[in-house]
Structure 1
Amino acid sequence: MTISTTDSLTVNALTVDQRIIVPLDVPTAEAALRLIDSLPQVSFWKVGLELFISAGPGMLQELKARDKRIFLDLKLHDIPNTMAGACAAATRYGVDILTLHASAGQMGLAAALSAAQAESAAQNLPLPLIVAVTLLTSISAEALATELRVPLKPEAYVLQMAQMTQDVGLGGVVCSPQEVSQLRRFLPPDFALVCPGVRPTWASTNDQQRTLTPAQALQAGATYLVIGRPITASPDPAAAFQRICDECATALN
């Protein structure tokens, strides 16, 4: 199944299972391939820092060979020139979603987007959906204030980062599900909201601080949900994935 970046933002055209991204949070390519092949019904996979550093771009090629969509979650955060080069390279991999840190600032985000657009045109490849991480879902209001010394509540900080991201021209943000309703009031419907920190009522929250259930997040206006351990750490990952899909479909009908 291949869906273009533009089509991926037409949320009504996607089934619930196409809106759930499962992380490959494993240390090796071998473990990742076992997980992918054990869940053939999952169409969208996230490759994060651990696996990308361990397995390299070959992991992306394996996913594409299986006709899977790829969320390359590297959370790039550097000077504008470095971010531009990294985004151009990521575009050549043909990934569907790529993450940056919004806190890199407007110049860094703009340089990254411009480089991806140029590389996409030069290589005749689809432009990835580039989204900016607003605030990590592991960071609580207390940590934001006392550790990072940001004099804003999380929802105000996230809104500020999201509006800056939109002003630059990126296609969306990564945010906690608790901020989705607020962002939907201020941002256009085609601006993607990608939500980690989503946990069913029957799963542990682990290290996530600002959570909702998958059904609640979709009802609030989330575009994509990133759901890992409730699926991958389950005794029956396929059954857990299907249970989440069923709960979401029921809530949306």
Structure 2
Amino acid sequence: MNQSLVIALDFSSKQEVEQFLQPFEGESLFLKVGMELFYKEGPAILAYLNEHNHRIFLDLKLHDIPNTVKQGMKSLANYGVDMVNVHAAGGTRMMEAAVEGLIAGTQAGKQRPLCIAVTQLTSTSQGMMERELLIKESLNDVVLHYAKQADESGLDGVVCSSLEVPLLRAHLRPSFLTVTPGIRMAEDSVDDQVRIVTPQQARENGSSAIVVGRSITKAKNPVLAYQKMKQQWEGVTV
């Protein structure tokens, strides 16, 4: 998982995904399937990506009562995905139930999908958290608290901004995963993100993996954009 670059498939149909992936023919990628794509295409899109030897992060951010999340994860474990997630705000019992469901749903002899928890979305600012969520603690304190609870609940890591990774590294085990969206090249548009960094900054901060969407999927040359991102993320000089 470490040093992975995950491409967010920000598309609404399988046809768009096929068109995007065509120039990458023969290359095994790590791809994120979110709500927009999964709700449109269902499990069939996961089967398609598996057939082409891609790794899959199924990003549905489950957040419900513990039993519902457990049963949901039990079903998701059958889809051949590599990683799934929940909202840490659902609490420790819900996160424990998520892992229980994945274990119960994973076929014998196979490894269960990694399970990570969303701390605070990278579109969230301190001001928004205080005004709209009525959370008065600092954003860093909230992210660290949620990350500790995720670790105690048996999860493999969290989704957070790379800006928070050094803080988490100082307080959590080295193998705890930090999957960081909000990645942009210096010249890219920020769009709806708030807490963003470049691939190089994410590497220097100690992120386990980065998630990149529009900077690659909306690029004129997606393959070139992916290669540039990957090189900067891996510290390759050309």
TM-score range, shorter chain: over 0.9
Structure 1 position 180 matched with structure 2 position 165: yes
Deviation at 1:109, TM superposition (A): 0.6
**Aligned residue for 2:61?**
75
Report if aligned partners of 1:215, 1:251 keep a CA contact under 8 Å in 2. Answer: no
The number of residue pairs the alignment matches comes to 237
Greater RCO (CA < 8 Å, at least 6 residues apart): 2
Root-mean-square deviation (CA, aligned residues, Å) is 1.6
CA contact (8 A) 1:117 1:127 kept: yes
Does residue 53 (structure 1) correspond to residue 72 (structure 2)? The answer is no
Partner residue, 2:203: 218
1:225-240 to 2 correspondence within 5 Å?
Answer: 225-240=210-225
C-alpha distance in 2 between matches for 1:148 and 1:200: 30
Cα deviation 1:109-147 (Å, max 9, x = unaligned): 111111111222x54332111000000111111000111
Q: Does 1:96 align with 2:82?
A: yes
Residue 30 of structure 2 corresponds to 44
Gaps of 5+ in 1: 1-7
The one-character-per-residue Cα deviations of 1:173-227 (angstroms, maximum 9, x if unpaired) are 0001110111111111111100001111121111110011111111211111000
CA distance in 2, matches of 1:248, 1:118: 35
Q: Is the 8 A contact 1:92 1:123 kept in 2?
A: no
Distance 1:88 1:124 in 2: 16
2:116 is aligned to 131
Match of 1:5 in 2: none
Q: Equivalent residue of 2:21, what SS?
A: helix
Partner of 1:144 in structure 2? 129
**Residue 198 in structure 1 maps to residue 183 in structure 2:** yes
Q: Note the alpha carbon deviations across 1:38-59, whole angstroms, 9 max, x for none.
A: 3344610000001000000000
Instruction: Give the unaligned 5+ runs of structure 2.
Output: none
Identical counterparts, % of pairs: 36
Q: What are the equivalent positions in structure 2 for 1:7-46 lying under 5 Å apart?
A: 8=1, 11=2, 19-40=4-25, 41=27, 43-46=29-32
The structure 1 segments of at least 4 consecutive aligned residues displaced by more than 4 Å after TM superposition are none
Cα distance between partner residues in 2 of 1:239 and 1:48? 23
Which amino acid letter does the alignment assign opposite residue 182 of structure 2? G
